[in-house]
Structure 1
Amino acid sequence: MTGPRRGEGEAGGRRRGDNSAALPLPQDRPAVVIVAHARPRSLARLLSSVARGRYPGAVKLVVSVDKSDDPEVLRVAEEFVWAFGDKEVIRRPERLGLRRHVLSCGDLSREHGSVVVLEDDLYVSPEFYAYAGQALAFYRGRSEIAGISLYAHHLNVHARLRFEPLPDESDVFFLQMASSWGQAWTWEQWRGFRDWYGGHDGPVTAEDNLPDAMVGWPDSSWLKYYTKYMVATGNYFVYPRESLSTNCGDRGVHHRSGTTLFQVPLQLFKSSFRFKPLADSAAVYDAWFELLPSRLDRLTDSLKGYDYSVDLYGTKAPGRLGTAHVLTSRRCRSHVRSFGRTMRPPEMNVIAGVPGQDILLSAVGEVVGAADGQLPQFYPELSSRRLLAMVRARLAGRLGLTKRT
């Protein structure tokens, strides 16, 4: 298998001049860094999508190939023709493994000022570079931002349930979890993590303030360390509402077999993006994909005065909440406020004051059960087979059987 020839893969037959059209907003010009290992077809597919991108001028492409017994990956990387600037292929002389490999690729932000990092099982929109460059420029120097995601989650990856951020007038929301399915960093953002990581590279344990499912991810996961850093420092990743990358779910280190569970639609047409500061956004979520109480209080007065956590997905251990009350979908012996669950996203039921007994504000000590029994009612469009598969996946995650980046 070989990479695309010059001119191949340009959407609609566009020539280089079209791909290099000036973009309307100020933007960084990050290097594009590809993380590759043992999947030549995946690498060729990703490179073909990167070749379709629109670029504001010369852009450096780096393909980092971890040591492998398969020479085909290196051949695909070396034969790929990059029409938009310099290309460098880094051949790792020893097997780094996924975590060390991604960390070494993030370190390239020091040389280039900023980077877009893409693992080889991804596929990107032609507008991925416009979004990344504009987002990096807008959030540069804002110490509360730890990085930029190209991927937009449609699932809460811990609960394996639908996730829908509250809409607003911007193209982004904020999540206290790093992204591994297309991400960008400035050197300043990456250096903040690297400085912290030097003293915190030991095992992630149940004592860390992270979702239980994430704690169970394998040690090869760099993402759980970056998320631990974000939780410890109070920083957030910027996420797009419409995805600029998608995860093809190829078999690899963290997928024992292929999956389409994390495929999402791509934004193919927008080249100018609207951002807002973290402080001005109501769509700010913690590492469990739960809306921050401070943001919910901006939208409703019904819970003001209570010291509470949000646990609408039912994935937080009550004994580790650290608040007197919890807003939850779990069963409780008693409660002080209650809401129905007919609107989406689920926090809209609280904002709108929907009557019912599905979402409860309860003292933490009154929580007695799980929320899984509510799945068929709130996700009726999912087939019984898909629901069963999601529940099994969720249980496997609790048992440490599922693996992820």
Structure 2
Amino acid sequence: MILSRKRKRLLLVFLLCSSAIYIFILAPMDTGYEAADERSWVDFPVNYSHLITRFNFDVTKEIRSGDTGERNWALGNCSLESPESIRKDVVDLRVIVITYNRPQSLDRLLQSLNKAEYDNDNVKFEIWLDRSIYGQISKDTLTTARNFRVSYGRCSIIVHSTHVGIQGQWLNTWEPSAQSREMAVILEDDLTVSPFFYKYLKLVHNKYDSRRDVSGFSLQGTSLRHSDGHCCLNVATENKVFLYPTLGTTGFSPKRDSWFMFKSWLNHITSNGQRPPLIKDHVAVTWYEDLRRLGHEESMWEMGYLYYTRMQGEYTLYPNFKDHQGLTVNWFEVGLHNKGKMEEDSNGKPENGLLRSWNPQYDQLPDEPIYVNNNGDVIS
């Protein structure tokens, strides 16, 4: 009887170990997004140029035919395009949506983009879909992108040729030419945008793009203190905007020249087999070290950006509306960096909400925005 119990225990241990090996080795690896339903993964050609005409023709055909039956996935008007073709577009605003396998989150973001104001400008929406480490894509996410019927502007779906992860999604999607004057905003798929996000972006780009100490523009209304990770930065609202040494990725619009120089510097560093140095006195270093122990440090591309912008004396410009209202809000979906613990209000919405109305006073931006350090203190 004792021997039988030992055998049972050994068998249980064996089964548990086998399960763990499957989870960590055989199952699709966590790439910074929520876990995939393996039934939703499908193969997709690396070079899909031969599919583009057929794909886009089928969509157009079914829209014209009025078919609203089982094939309603084809009612969208986003065309499948290659990375090379989309870079030939001339636009005023390029909205880059990066996604992997969160179809519901993607749909929520796209619907909010449809409700935004674009001032009759030339706008292009690009949905960049990453692959798993095995080269497959999420069928449900692709279907959601195909379903999206943009109400203004043009829309493209671009599938990466290989798995690129969060870093590749951020750094390999916006490639403006040296002559381009377009604006771009990069949005992860678990965000929602304010109807006025573009109105604000036009305003701050026009006002501050010429400043050498500005690297880009964040759309988020709430930020931690990056000296200790505590919430929140509280800047007097008499200051409509402020300059802060840490970028905000809850909707980020890089300044073209700064973005280009940063990526050139990073490519030079990494091509020599080096890693960007870590800055001191910043809570993100702690997060980075935790991820490095798990083997996921490559997901924090921001560490290189933090070092580069500090070295260059560059800052991110943040909005500063009443009650921490933002031009974006983060739903904190489950992923590598989040556990899905979004703080909600009584209506089940993100606690720190979106800017829902525009006061003409917002148009009056200061010539000299204040500087705020990572501890939240105003500095000279």
What's the offset of the Cα at 1:30?
A: 1.9
- TM-score of the superposed pair, with normalisation by structure 2: 0.64
Other-structure match for 2:242 = 173
- TM-score of the superposed pair, with normalisation by structure 1: 0.60
**1:2-401 counterparts in 2 under 5 A?**
29-57=92-120, 58-68=122-132, 69-108=137-176, 113-156=182-225, 159-167=228-236, 169-201=238-270, 202-204=274-276, 208-209=279-280, 211-214=282-285, 216-217=287-288, 218-242=297-321, 243-255=326-338, 257-261=339-343, 263-270=351-358, 272-277=362-367, 280-282=368-370, 284-286=371-373, 288-291=374-377, 294-295=379-380
Are the structure 2 counterparts of residues 193 and 162 from structure 1 closer, same or farther at C-alpha, using a change threshold of 3 Å?
Answer: same
Deviates more, 1:85-94 or 1:209-218: 209-218
What's the offset of the Cα at 1:180?
A: 0.9
Assess if the C-alpha contact under 8 Å between 1:209 and 1:231 holds in 2: no
SS at match of 2:201: helix
What's the offset of the Cα at 1:203?
A: 3.1
- The C-alpha deviation readout for 1:364-402, integer Å capped at 9, x for no partner, is xxxxxxxxxxxxxxxxxxxxxxxxxxxxxxxxxxxxxxx
Structure number with higher helix proportion: 2
Are the structure 2 counterparts of residues 109 and 237 from structure 1 closer, same or farther at C-alpha, using a change threshold of 3 Å?
Answer: farther
Are the structure 2 counterparts of residues 205 and 195 from structure 1 closer, same or farther at C-alpha, using a change threshold of 3 Å?
Answer: closer
What's the offset of the Cα at 1:120?
A: 0.3
SS at match of 2:146: helix
What's the offset of the Cα at 1:241?
A: 0.9
Are the structure 2 counterparts of residues 84 and 53 from structure 1 closer, same or farther at C-alpha, using a change threshold of 3 Å?
Answer: same
CA RMSD of aligned residues (A): 2.8
Gaps spanning 5+ residues in structure 2: where? 1-39, 41-71, 77-90, 289-296, 344-349
Assess if the C-alpha contact under 8 Å between 2:229 and 2:283 holds in 1: no
Assess if the C-alpha contact under 8 Å between 2:228 and 2:375 holds in 1: no
**Percent identical across equivalent pairs?**
23
Other-structure match for 1:18 = none
Measured in 1, the distance between the counterparts of 2:227 and 2:151 equals 40
Gaps spanning 5+ residues in structure 1: where? 7-27, 296-405
Measured in 2, the distance between the counterparts of 1:146 and 1:112 equals 16
Number of equivalent positions: 268
Other-structure match for 1:305 = none
What's the offset of the Cα at 1:168?
A: 5.3
The one-letter amino acid of 1:49's match is S
The one-letter amino acid of 1:86's match is R
Assess if the C-alpha contact under 8 Å between 1:113 and 1:186 holds in 2: no
Assess if the C-alpha contact under 8 Å between 2:192 and 2:328 holds in 1: yes
What's the offset of the Cα at 1:171?
A: 1.8
